[in-house]
Structure 1
Amino acid sequence: MKQIISALPIVFLFLAMLFSPKAVFEGAESGLLLWFQIVFPTLFPFMLISGLMHAGGGINIIARLFGRMFSVLFATSKNGAFAVITGFLCGYPMGAKVSADLVRAGRITQNEGAYLLSFCNNTSPVFIMNFIVWKTLGREDLMIPTLLILVGVPVFLSLLFRRFYLKGEKHFPDVDQKDTNIRKTVDFTMLDACLTDSFESIVNVGLYIIFFSILISLPGNITADNKILAVILPTLEMTNGILMVNRLLADLSVSYPLILGLTSFGGFCAAAQTQCMIKDTGLPFLPYIIQKLTAAAAASLAGALYMRMF
C-alpha cells in the first residue's frame, strides 16, 4: 500500500505529461534556454575557478587574506571564509557546492559545513540587480533596499543559526592538514579533473531547471483566481516563479514582499540542486529547508515593512 501511495504522484505526472505534450515541450524548451543562456555562462566559470582554487591551493590564500575577518564576523574557520564569499557572490547552488567540497576534503568540520549551508547558499547580487530589480520590477529605486534585505537577512540569521552549531565555542576550529604546505602545481591534468567535475555539476543544475520548468508549464496559464496554483507553482522554480508573481499581482506592496521571500528561499528547484551538491557529505538537508523558509519569512516581512514605511 505504501508503494502504491508513493507511486501515485509519479503516475499522475506521467499521465499529465502524456496528455499535455505541448506544455511539456514548452516547459522543457524554456528551462533549457534559461539554463543555456543565463545559468550556464553565469555559473559554470565560477564552478570551474572554485574547483581550481580548491585543487591548486588557492583556498589557502583566501584563508590568509580573509580568514581572521570572517572568523570575527561569522565565527567561521579560515577555510570557511571561502564558502561565505562564493555563497554570497556566485549564487545558487555555489554556497552548497563549496561547503560540501570543503567537508569532503577535510578542510572544515561537518558541523561547520552544516552551519555554512544554513546562511551562505544565496542568490547572487548580479541576479538580484539584473533580473529582479531591472527586468522584473523595473524600479531602480528598489535596488538598495532589495540588496540590503536579501543580503542582510542571511547575515543576521547567521547570528542565530550559529548557536546551534558552535556548542559554546567562539568560532569553528581550523582543521589541521598534513598536505597544507605541499605545493600543488596547476597543470592540464588538474584542469581536466576540474572541468569534468564542474560540467557534471552544471548539467545536474540544468536538468533540475528543465524538470521544474515542465512542472510549472503543465497547468497552463493561471490567474490570481486559482489561489492554490498561484501559491504553489511560483515556489517550484525561482526565476519563473518571480515572473509569475509579478504577473499575477499588480499591487507592488503585495508582490514585492512575496518576490523577496521567494528569492530568499530559492524555490524547490534550488533546494533539489542543493541536495544534489551535498550528497555523500552527511550534511543535513531538512534543517537547511527550515532555515531557508525562516529566511524567506524574514525577507518577506522586511519587504512588507519597507513598502509600508516608504
Structure 2
Amino acid sequence: MNVQVMKTIMLATSVTFVALAVILFPDHTLEASKSGLSMWWNIVFPSLLPFFIISELLIGIGVVRFIGILLEPLMRPLFRVPGSGAFVFAMGIASGFPAGAKYTAHLRQNNDITAIEGERLVSFTNCSNPLFIFAAVAVGFFHNPALGVILAIAHYTGNILVGFVMRFHHPEDAHPTEMIRSSESRLGLAFTALHQTRLIDTRPFGKMMGDAVHSSIKTLLMVGGFIILFSVLNELLGVIGIAAILAGVIRSILLLLQLSPELDIPLLSGMFEITLGSRLASESSTTLLAQAIVTSFILAFNGFSVQAQVASILADTDIRFKPFFFARLLHGFFAAFLTLVIWKPIYLDYLSSGNGSLPVLNREDAPSFIESVYSFLTQTGPWITLFSLLTFIILVTYRAGNQRIFK
C-alpha cells in the first residue's frame, strides 16, 4: 500500500478516535481544557508576550544583524551557525519555548540563515526559562529552591552540548567564516548593517510596533491552542486506558535504568505536557534524586505539546522538524545524566550542607525574588492577557477596516 495512503488512513483514524473520545467523556475534556487554559491565561501569555514584542522590534530595527556580525567569530566555530544565533539562544533562555523556534523561523524567512543552519540553531535554542524552572517547578512543585539550581545547570548545559553535537549535522554544508578587510572593523560593519536594515524597513515605528504586537499575539494564541489540546489528549489517554499500556513500557525502561517504576505515569504525562509531568514527578514517593532525573528529562524533552508548537512554526519555512525531535531526545538524556553527575558535588555537598549561599532563593525571612515575580504573574497575568487580547481585536478590526477602504 502507498505510504501516503497509509498516512491518510492513520490521520483520519486518529482524529476520529479523539473526536469520539471527546464526545464520550465530556466532563474529563472540560476539566482538562480548563486546566490548560488556566496555565496559558495566567502564566504563559503574560510572561511570553513582552519578550515576543521586544524581539520583533529588535529584529525589525536591525539589532539582531548588529549582534550577528559581532558574534560571528564565536557562534560559527562553536555551533556552525551565524552570529545572530546568539540572540536566538539568549532570547530562547529568557522567554522559554517556543521562542527559539519563532526567532529561528524569522531569521530563515529573512534569509539570514540557511535551512541547515536553521535546523542546527533551533535544536539548542528552544528551552525552559529560569522563571519556570525555579519558581514553578523547584519552588511550586518540589518546595525546594535549591533543586532549581541543579535542574537549571543540567538543562542549559545539556542544551549547549546538543549545540556542539548538532554542529556535525550535515557537515558538507560548509560556510566559511566571514573575512573582514583590515580597513574595516567588525564593529563598523555591524553598525552599517544595523543602519541599512533600518533604512530598508520603511515602516514607521508605530506601524512596526503594531505589527510586533499583532504577530506576537497570533503566535501566543497558537501556543494556547496546543496547550489546551494536549492537556485534553493526556487526560483522555488516562481515561480510555491507553496510558496504562504505555506506562507499562516506560516502567520496563525505568527498571533497566535502575529508577523507581513509580515514575512511569509522571514520565508519560511529561512526554505530553511538561507542567503536568513535573508536578506528578514531585508528588511521587520515590527518592528526590530519581524525581530530579526524570524531571530533567521532561524539561529537556519539552513534551509533545511544545514540539507540536515548534512544528507549526517551522512549517512556514523549509526547516525540517526531524532534526529538532532528535535533538530533544538527545537533550533529555544529556540533562538526566548531568543531573546524576552533579547531584553529589553540587546538591549534597554544597547546597544542602549549608555552604552554598543562595540569597535570591532564601525563604526564611521573605519570599524570594523569583517567587515574588511568579506571584506577581499569577495575580496580574489574567488582566495582562485580557488587555492584550482586547488590543489585538482592535488592531485586527482597524486593519480590516483600512483594507476595505483602500480596495
**TM-score between both structures, scaled by the size of structure 2:** 0.69
Q: Where does 1:224-235 land on structure 2 (aligned, <5 Å)?
A: 227-228=247-248, 230=265, 231-235=267-271
Deviations 1:150-199 (A, max 9, x none): 1101112222210224548586669x989547365652211222211111
Alpha-carbon distance in structure 2 between the residues aligned to 1:164 and 1:111 = 8
Partner of 1:135: 140
Deviation track 1:224-243 (CA, whole Å, cap 9, x = no partner) reads 98734724332111111211
> Residue 115 of structure 1 contacts residue 165 of structure 1 at CA under 8 Å; is this kept in 2?
no
The residue identity in structure 2 corresponding to 1:263 is: L
Partner of 1:279 in structure 2? 315
Could you tell me which residue of structure 2 aligns to residue 124 of structure 1?
129
In structure 2, the CA distance between the partners of 1:173 and 1:265, relative to structure 1 (3 Å rule), is: farther
Per-residue deviation at 1:38? 0.4
Residues 1:300 and 2:318 are matched in the alignment: no
1:172/1:276 CA distance change after superposition, 3 Å: farther
Aligned equivalents of 1:251, 1:290: Cα separation in 2: 29
**CA drift at 1:265:** 0.9
Give SS of 2:113's match.
Answer: coil
Q: Which residue number corresponds to residue 83 of structure 2?
A: 78
> Which of 37, 52, 73 in structure 2 is aligned with 1:47?
52
The structure whose Rg is larger is 2
Look up the match of 1:245.
281
Flag the 1:225–1:181 CA change in 2: closer, same or farther, 3 A. closer
In structure 2, the CA distance between the partners of 1:79 and 1:308, relative to structure 1 (3 Å rule), is: closer
The SS at the match of 2:167 is helix
Structure 1 residue runs of 5 or longer lacking an equivalent are none
Identify if the C-alpha distance between structure 1 residues 172 and 181 changes in structure 2 by more than 3 Å, giving closer, same or farther. farther
**Which letter does structure 2 place at the counterpart of 1:242?**
S
CA contact 2:61–2:197 (8 Å) conserved in 1: no
Question: Does the C-alpha gap of structure 1 residues 145 and 248 become closer, same or farther in structure 2, counting only changes over 3 Å?
Answer: closer
**Percent identity at matched positions?**
25
- Contact kept, 8 Å, 1:133 with 1:139, in 2: the verdict is yes
Give the Cα–Cα distance (whole angstroms) in 2 for the partners of residues 147 and 242 of structure 1: 14
8 Å Cα contact 1:77/1:173 also seen in 2: no
Q: Which residue of 1 aligns with 2:224?
A: 206
Taking the TM superposition and a 5 Å limit, the aligned residue runs for 1:22-171 are 22-63=27-68, 66-71=71-76, 73-167=78-172, 169=174
Confirm or deny that 1:261 pairs with 2:266. Answer: no
Q: If the length of structure 1 is used for normalisation, what is the TM-score?
A: 0.88
Q: Do the aligned residues in 2 keep the contact of 1:77 with 1:171 (CA within 8 Å)?
A: no
Aligned residues: 309
Inter-CA distance 221–40: structure 2 relative to 1 (3 Å threshold): farther
Unaligned runs of 5+ in 2: 180-191, 249-263, 349-407
